[in-house]
Structure 1
């Protein structure tokens, strides 16, 4: 008999409605979206335009989805998209996006239009959770007729601008809880065996297999290397199971996997991953690494 590796469900059997309800009952609010995210967005309203692009309605509450836009939007300029909090538990993606807008977005006025969705999954942000309230991973559901409302709302925001995006950078983290909680939960939900992996110590990027931009990726890596360390490959030359194709870079087929960084059709796309549990990095460094990644990517893309 297969030993259970997660406290919900029966090994080898995908979850049904009872298991999803049991999982949902375990999720508790641990921090405030209103206080830690919406409050910071409100403080930016004097300098930037803020638009609601949707609202999540879950039994546990309603969550406005907000995007920050360049003031004086110019249709003659290219558009750059910054997204954070697609996985709500990945704190530096959210706070890094907000810090970039506050400290550096003005530097790009007149050069591009910035569109920043700092917290795509606020229900997950409050519960420090990878999934949404439906036990779905938003970052595997950027697909047509998406069952994840977080993903569907962001795609609807982006759709009218497709063809005008120069860059999209999606800010993420890889944490120890990926291995202790979220990957075991995923295997249990899908009725599959859990196969332990290895968490890389450091920052890395995910390029698009179908739209490789190696020089762009290395420009971002170089910018971040001044802030925090870059993840080395494991003994097999891989990071999270994927071959390392360049210093700190792996590749995924973004659209085929339903990943956020594949939604714009931009020339330059990447997904960042920082490691906040590293003994060599602080939360402030992780936020700063995300800011550096956005700036490094923008500077390269605008000069290309």
Structure 2
């Protein structure tokens, strides 16, 4: 039996979008939550304990979005650096709030051991609209490369550039949601003029490692820590997660630098991308945030051991 997938409501199947289609897509996007209330106010509460760095500004008329990172107050040039990034895809909520929760509750545990840089919301326009792309229908998490087409990625690259060779560990916080299959991947296929082929959504937490720098013991240590607070996603019937073969349970790998992913931003020895599943009937926002925090802490502890 052949199932015909519904076409995306914008564009002509098989034809990549042009300016008119991008404009039609943009006209459908509405603000659904507040970057200022959810993120900037939280950063202000953390200011007494962290150095707050404004590393850029996004001007998307009629709105402007200052970009902030938190840095260790007791920064030492003789220590390595840990980078935590959240909200590269703005709709992936626990990445943003997990980064902020780590900064509030656990950053002090690493004082004098490693310098921390936490960029909790890389894509604030998308955060407010609960979307994956920026207003140009560009995915920031495919844009970490020279002459980046995404201002969100370019700003973060400028922030990290002076520290790039000192970063020991980088944890990039993401989610895989049911809307990946119902909205975002169909939109991607329509934008690029290709056929949408569903992959399914993994039922639980998993990691994406760097296929060119696997560090399996590190990835397994992170998975073991997260397993105490969240379900680890089982492979599908073909031994895959989102179309990729599993390396060990809960882990797939991509060539992160070649794909322009945020995880390839530095030369860090220990790099991982988390993927939380917030749409499980048994998952709560608190549990999703806790899984992100557990992953960050396990990554730092392993790197420092």
Aligned to 1:284: 286
1:160-206 superposed Cα distances (whole Å, 9 cap, x missing partner) = 01110100000000000000000000000000011122100000000
Residues 85-104 of structure 1 correspond to what in structure 2 (within 5 A)? Answer: 85-104=87-106
Aligned to 1:153: 155
Give 3-state SS (helix, strand or coil) of 1:44's partner.
helix
Aligned to 1:115: 117
Write the distance in 2 (CA, Å) between the matches of 1:43 and 1:5: 45
Write the distance in 2 (CA, Å) between the matches of 1:143 and 1:91: 25
Residues 226-241 of structure 1 correspond to what in structure 2 (within 5 A)? Answer: 226-241=228-243
For residue 132 of structure 1, the aligned residue among 134, 139, 143 is 134
Write the distance in 1 (CA, Å) between the matches of 2:102 and 2:224: 17
Runs of 4 or more, structure 1, over 3 Å off, are none
Unaligned runs of 5+ in 2: none
TM (norm. structure 1) is 0.98
Give 3-state SS (helix, strand or coil) of 1:45's partner.
helix
For residue 8 of structure 1, the aligned residue among 10, 20, 24 is 10
Give 3-state SS (helix, strand or coil) of 1:46's partner.
helix
1:64-114 superposed Cα distances (whole Å, 9 cap, x missing partner) = 000000002100000000000000000000000000000000000000000
Instruction: Classify 1:204/1:3 alpha carbon distance in 2 versus 1 (closer, same or farther; 3 Å).
Output: closer
For the aligned residue pairs, the C-alpha RMSD in angstroms reads 0.9
Aligned to 2:41: 39
For residue 163 of structure 1, the aligned residue among 162, 165, 190 is 165
Aligned to 1:188: 190
Residues 260-299 of structure 1 correspond to what in structure 2 (within 5 A)? Answer: 260-299=262-301
1:255-276 superposed Cα distances (whole Å, 9 cap, x missing partner) = 0000001011100000000000
CA drift at 1:245: 0.3
Is the CA contact (8 Å cut-off) linking 1:4 and 1:11 kept in structure 2?
no
Write the distance in 2 (CA, Å) between the matches of 1:178 and 1:302: 35
Write the distance in 1 (CA, Å) between the matches of 2:48 and 2:140: 31
1:207-227 superposed Cα distances (whole Å, 9 cap, x missing partner) = 101111000001100110010
Unaligned runs of 5+ in 1: none
Give 3-state SS (helix, strand or coil) of 2:59's partner.
strand
Aligned to 1:221: 223
Aligned to 1:79: 81
Is the CA contact (8 Å cut-off) linking 1:4 and 1:10 kept in structure 2?
no
CA drift at 1:4: 5.5
